[in-house]
Amino acid sequence: MDSKQRAQMLIWLIGFDIFLIVILAANRLFGLLVALLLIEGLVGAVIFLRRTDRWPEEFSLRRIGCWLLPFLLLLLLVVVFALGVPLYTDWLWFQQLGYGSVFTTEMSARALLFVGAWLVGILLLGGNMHLALRWLPQRRWRLEQPTQGQSWGRRLPVLGVWLLAALIGLGLGLFVQARWLRLLKFLQGLSVGQQDPLFGRDLAFYLFELPLLLDLKNVLMGMLVLALGLTALVYALNVHDRRFPPSALAHLSVLGVLFLLVKAWDYQLKVLQLLYSSHGVAFGAGYTDVYARWPAYNIMSVIVLICAALLLVNLWRRTWGLLAVGAGVWLLSLFVLGTLYPALVQSLKVRPSELDLERPYIEHSIAHTLQAYDLQNIEEVDFPVEETLTQAIIRENPGTIDNIRLWDHRPLYDTYGQLQEIRQYYDFVDIDVDRYTLAGDYREVELSLRELAVDQLTEAAQTWVNRHLVYTHGYGVVLSPVSQVCSEGQPCFLIQNIPPESSYPELDLERPEIYYGEDTDNYVIVHTTAREFDYPQGNENVYTRYEGNGGVPVGTFLRRLAFAMRMGDLPILLSDGIGAESRILFHRNIEDRLETIAPFFWYDYDPYPVILEGRIYWIQDAYTYSSYFPYAEPYDGLNYVRNAVKVVIDPYNGTTTFYVVDPDDPIVQVYAGIFPALFRPAEDMPAGLREHWRYPEEIFRLQTSIYATYHMRDPQVFYNKEDLWDYAKEIYADDEDYVDSYYVIMRLPGWEVEEFLLMVPFTPANRDNMIAWMHVQCDGDDYGRLGVFRFPKQSLVYGPFQVENRINQDPVISQQLSLWNQRGSRVLRGNLLVVPIEHSLLYVEPLYLQSESGQIPELRRVTVAYGNNIAMAETLDQALRLVLTGETVVGPEDREWQEIAHSAQEHYEKAQECLQAGDWACYGEELRALETDLETLVRLGEE
């Protein structure tokens, strides 16, 4: 075969390789692709060996290149496609969102770190091993005139060490590029304006510089150990009579000096890390750390530097004895100074007077922990519990009473699913709590979006066209008040059905489609020839065409090819339904979307929807965090957190906007400096969305966990752990569990109006009586203001679990519960809520009935406890009157049929009056009351 034929064959082979890469990658057949790569390389090697009659004498680079070039080109193409396709498609996606600079900043930092670390690894490892080969004594066979095969054989070790260095450098580059954000924060930097109490350094050093310095130290130590070991191995494999030549000893000595210098630096970094010590009675450096470990690390640094100096002297004078002594002293110091001396100081000096010696360090730990979790300004107020609650006081607090949450989210989730999913391909992910002003009333509601679950389509409908072109979005919202119960113990829907039907103009929806959600994981393509399903209507379907600006255009062949390879779906490339105007929507899951844009935040587990001016919006809380705040107690590996950012996502267009809500947070200030195009000030957020800010439950859980211990600000009380708190317990369903924090609307003592709060009750550790409850405000300028109401220690205040036990012991209630459980039904006990009113406490627990064969829980009773009284009734109003006055309330089942019919007539007439006045809220209430009366009449007729 001449050179022209060989070139033509090579071109055809390369073209065939590209075709196979596209086809296999587009169908996600990556295993087959790797197998192809290996087979082609093996075939090339076999052909080469068969054509080499005398090997290795005719072992030439030209012949290797000729036959292995297709294999190398295929490998290069695989790498290019594997890296280039995701980068290209992500770049298009970032550009469409308007965050192209965010993408280029991250990718540039990663690329520079990768290339820089790779080159450093190659030069450090390959250079030292190459020097070792060059400095080896010449062997006799090398003095003879080498043949061509021998010449090639002499090059193999050099090529081998550089190849090994390149592979190790590749791993180093991958490791280092993952630290791109730490480098950018280090370079951005700023001053916090506060110093740590031990070394006097600005806190910015610990938040932005120390993490990178620790990474750099680890990389240098690891690479020097590798260089030392691999270089020693090269010498050991090539020396005569197992004795290293002087040049080898000098070479290894220099590497040893460099390692010891880095180790001395490591000891100085350990001094700084004493601020994160967990050896003392409180987190952070204690007495033993300051007066034993700190001096020990300094002394060991000096010892290591002396050892490094001895190694340098060893370059000219073989002082192995002094070097051995230095190494021995270092090893001995590790035990004496690193372990024995701190233990002696702790036992003989600290333990006899521990509180006195540790007092200033305990104070540091308390102050910095409270600051790290934004608890330093919490307001504590005594709450003297009085049993002065009356019906008049109840009537004076309608905003609190009318918003007591009777619908627990867990049974309500089942109810929503059974009553409002409508079709098998719709799904509710979870239930969220929020508040709306409806017809002038401030009301707490629960709501959920109806998302599309394509995996629940029938098997026959699981086609590529249906999954990606037709069934593209969810539809609508379901919303109900937290305190209202309608017929058959079901929630009273204020938004329901498809298309959405709302009871208030404030809740009307003009754009109910949901293209981006909590459980929307697949990609879809819009503006295709396929009819896009909108919603079902009877036996027919209504179709639509996407009118938003979300998604990346895929009208060109190159983009269709790229997305076909990225998604692993060849139909993207081949489908006739995709045209010049088509757009692909991906990263549609909220969590995935935000992690892709800004992976440096910790995102709250629960994004929640907001209805505003006929549209739906998602609000997602984002946290800045660190593990390097001095003296701060860690929680799940973190010891600093701020809810610094709120993200708003449009579920129709996919627009994603990051608003800075805590501009004083130094970490978000650094991020804003690195990514100036990413953030907008909170003032730019629409006022309607601002009214729906919720303080997130996840960070509140973290803060309350810390405060349960760190509310003890007196060092002596903290030292003795005299006043530890724990979360209150309750019985949910039939299981004992901790009370979760819950949102409420209430007016606290001294407040003029009701506010939306998040709160949780505390009990003393290992006790069930209530000691305090902690809340955080969510409304207006008071957003984020934390407070604690402390109950008197000298008197008993019932905790939720004690009230649960009292409910179980009540003969009337326990008998009724037992009766229901024996009739083929299951009693579900909801959350027991502690509701402060004036200076009194109400305990409210809803009871649900669920048949063993059914899935729909029904709210049938409400239990109320106040003081020493407990009552259970059909409604909250009845239970309140019974527990406060002892009066039995006449329920709808106890009325005569004439009275019920008269009531129905009155509700009908009032409903007509409300309709004529345009009062839709009143109209809906009267219709529901009329429905209750009519159902009662039907039941009486059946009896």
Instruction: Give, to the nearest 10 degrees, the angle between helix 127-134 and helix 210-238.
Output: 20
Element (H, E) at 701: helix 697-710
To which residue do tokens 């130290």 refer? 217
Give me the sign of the Cα torsion angle 463, 465, 470, 471.
positive
**What is the reported pLDDT for 941?**
64
**What is the reported pLDDT for 371?**
96
Tokens of 444: 């707490």
- Residue 859 to residue 488: CA distance in whole angstroms: 8
Instruction: Give, to the nearest 10 degrees, the angle between helix 294-313 and helix 246-272.
Output: 170
- Residue 228 to residue 255: CA distance in whole angstroms: 6
Q: Which residues contact 574 (CB under 8 A, 6 or more apart)?
A: none
Full DSSP string of 738-786: EPPPEEEEE--TT-SS-EEEEEEEEEETT--S--EEEEEE-SGGGTT-E
Closest listed residue to residue 448, CA positions, set 434, 436, 438, 462 = 434
**What is the reported pLDDT for 56?**
46
**What is the reported pLDDT for 290?**
95
Whether 292 and 342 have beta carbons less than 8 Å apart is answered as: yes
- Residue 464 to residue 454: CA distance in whole angstroms: 11
Angle at CA 367, nearest 5°, toward 366 and 370?
80
Bridge partners (DSSP) of residue 689 are none
Give me the sign of the Cα torsion angle 872, 878, 880, 882.
negative
Closest listed residue to residue 446, CA positions, set 415, 401, 400, 407 = 407
CA 809 to each of CA 731, 802, 871, 882: distance values in angstroms, whole numbers, following the listed order: 14, 11, 12, 18
To which residue do tokens 């033993």 refer? 288
Residue 658 backbone phi and psi in degrees, to 5? -100, 120
- Residue 523 to residue 516: CA distance in whole angstroms: 10
Whether 117 and 172 have beta carbons less than 8 Å apart is answered as: yes
- Residue 37 to residue 28: CA distance in whole angstroms: 15
- Averages of pLDDT over runs of 10 residues in the chain (943 residues) are 53 56 53 55 50 46 57 66 87 96 95 94 92 68 46 66 89 93 92 94 96 96 92 79 73 90 96 94 94 95 91 73 76 88 92 94 96 94 89 89 92 91 92 94 95 93 95 96 89 94 93 95 95 91 94 94 90 92 96 96 96 96 96 94 97 97 96 96 95 96 96 94 92 84 89 92 93 94 94 90 91 84 80 90 92 80 92 90 73 62 81 75 69 70 57
Buried b (16+ CB within 10 A) or exposed e, 176-191: bbebbbbbbbbeeeee
Report the SS3 class of residue 509: coil
To which residue do tokens 């379907």 refer? 541
First to last CA, the chain: 101
Bridge partners (DSSP) of residue 450 are 428
**What is the reported pLDDT for 64?**
55
**What is the reported pLDDT for 161?**
86
